[in-house]
Structure 1
């Protein structure tokens, strides 16, 4: 039954609130939780649910997303039949119009059902019970709900999806959300309430608050478990080196880091260096960034490859974290 589902990930739609984090990458490729990308969660959910064919519709720029996913090997999707497919399309077009450009893919698919999801929902979800509920209710479309709000994840039959794509000009529907929200539609809509940890990342605030929640053991355990692993691109790096003078409390630190300062309630990605007598609190430091000596960082999101010079002070607030763009250099004079 599981193999009867086709996975479709719409990685194009994104509110502007993601700002600098999405300025040079697809939202699906935004780094998250120390070693993952946002797309890893829905993609892993699909693979863990037995889905063997996944189509991704990315927005430009999508180079980092394609570099991360590659052939799909790390998700066991590098297959001779089915597998992982990329279908880039202009972001300005509607969801159904983008899919219409690749009807051959849908017509060749022999799966009976489709899971259609966004790329920025963080959850660990088995889609098999969702399919069971859909079949039991005999509805046209099933919408996944979390705490009374849509997760923007839908299940429907492949023939119905093809019908919605082909008839989009007559119906006026541009996306699945349009269909579900049309009170006058003749289609029947049912709901599946997901009770586990689920956060839809729609803004920088969502990203920051969700990241900080994962430092709570209970929340982390809900999202990551050995029975339904979250897969990501494998990178072989040495263990993190904690040097004399380092002090770490309640932090998530990936491999390949060098820590000489203090880290508290923060998420540190791969290959980060934190210098002597520097303090990092309530912050997120992405891959290969370098924090100099005697720096103070609080409520900050540091993107990849940032260099923070000695003595710099960077402060945001819990409600408005300070975002430092990828590849920039933050000097003590500019940031004090």
Structure 2
């Protein structure tokens, strides 16, 4: 029987990080979705890579595509230096490959294009994970369930109420969690036997290596835009392959608090991205980033500590209920319930509330910012107001969502 560490060493991971994230526009006009900041200092992709690293899976290819250059640079700067002999975290994409691959036509097609890496890895298992979700997971436990059940594919499954499951792909399962059918966004989702909840796909898969190669080859003969959800899983069910649903609620990591179990966020819209970030500044957020037994890793940067400046009655630098990253200076302004990325500066008499500032944002004197997301390197003029008048914000060229979030993004 494999020990947990042996399972990690006997697994190759392929991380899908090539999506555009169109529903996050205009933030993704210049960034790939996995590269967007989360919690100030992290990138979204750091969560899946940290889960792999903490699980002892250190042979990892990251398949990038859209706006790949800066995302690749982040991976090289952060993850490339943390592996040892025979281990790697390597970004590969059509635009950077030494060969002339076509752009990925679907999630499974992306793996198929780099099948040679899978074949040469000499591992028993392949973990195919998405690069754009926020969660913590000991992936070894999922691989162990895959091995013990002798499954051909094991799918990470999120247990959720039926009314919520309509937005996702839903599995029908038997009493032992073997998948019998898969339906995309059903109007009446089938529940788990004996429960009033459903299993929805998290887009994370464990394959037995030989089975993955076999099914991708067969699938490509039938579908040009080969996709795991639309094509591969139904094909495997059609063939009679053993398809297992792994309940993410059963996954436990060291140091996990009770309320954190089952935490998973698809931050695919401005609203969901904003809400997941804002949850972090609560007194007891559901996602605990202070669990040092399962750290989220990233490129720290060589930044000085954050600091506040001035302590006069009408000019006091204060950060209240906020995440403030290294290199930030709150100079006589007030920050409440906000997240400041590295190197931000908040100038005197200004007010920032319920907002997310990316790297190197400067807020001018007497400015007032409320419920906003501000892109990196932006300079907000002295006296400017954002988040107080939606019509005025739109006239300035900002994006305002139905819920009143104002997105200030770089142009061009």
- Normalising by structure 2, report the TM-score: 0.74
Alpha-carbon separation, structure 2, partners of 1:74 and 1:236:
17
Counterparts of 1:320 and 1:154 in 2: how far apart (Å)?
Answer: 36
Unaligned runs of 5+ in 2: 1-6, 95-101, 161-199, 250-260, 311-315, 388-399
Equivalent residues of 2:364, 2:383 under 8 A apart = yes
Query: Does the 8 Å CA contact 1:17/1:202 hold for their aligned counterparts?
Result: yes
Deviation at 1:139, TM superposition (A): 2.2
1:200 paired to 2:266: yes
Aligned to 2:379: 307
Q: Which residue of the partner structure matches residue 246 of structure 1?
A: 317
Report the Cα distance in structure 2 between the residues aligned to 1:144 and 1:9, rounded to whole angstroms.
Answer: 14
Does the C-alpha gap of structure 1 residues 29 and 215 become closer, same or farther in structure 2, counting only changes over 3 Å? Answer: same
**Among 180, 186, 193, the residue aligned to 2:240:** 186
**Alignment size in residue pairs:** 327
Q: Quote how far apart the aligned CAs of 1:321 are.
A: 1.4
Partner in structure 2 of residue 216 of structure 1: 282
Query: Measured at CA, do residues 73 and 116 of structure 1 come closer, stay the same or move farther in structure 2, by a change above 3 Å?
Result: closer
Q: Distance in 1 between matches of 2:108 and 2:159?
A: 28
Gaps of 5+ in 1: 329-336
Superimposed CA distance per residue, residues 131-160 of structure 1 (whole angstroms, 9 cap, x where no aligned partner):
121122222211112233321111111111
Residue 100 (structure 1) aligned with residue 112 (structure 2): yes
Query: What's the RMSD between the two structures over aligned residues?
Result: 2.2
- Give the whole-Å Cα distance in 1 for the aligned partners of 2:130 and 2:114: 18
C-alpha spacing 1:198/1:92, structure 2 compared with 1 (3 Å): same
In 1: Cα distance, 2:134 partner to 2:363 partner: 28
Q: Which moved more, 1:282-291 or 1:193-202?
A: 193-202
CA separation of 1:72 and 1:103: change in aligned 2, threshold 3 A: farther
TM-score (norm 1): 0.90
Q: 1:281 aligns with which of 348, 353, 363?
A: 353
Shift of the alpha carbon at 1:168? 2.1
1:162 deviation in Å?
Answer: 1.1
Higher-Rg structure is: 2
Q: For the Cα contact (< 8 Å) 1:13–1:91, is it kept in 2?
A: no
Tell me the equivalent position of 2:73: 67
| Structure 2 residue 408 is the aligned partner of structure 1 residue 321 | no
Partners in 2 of 1:124 and 1:100 — Cα distance? Answer: 27
Task: Provide the residue aligned with 1:232 in structure 2.
Answer: 298
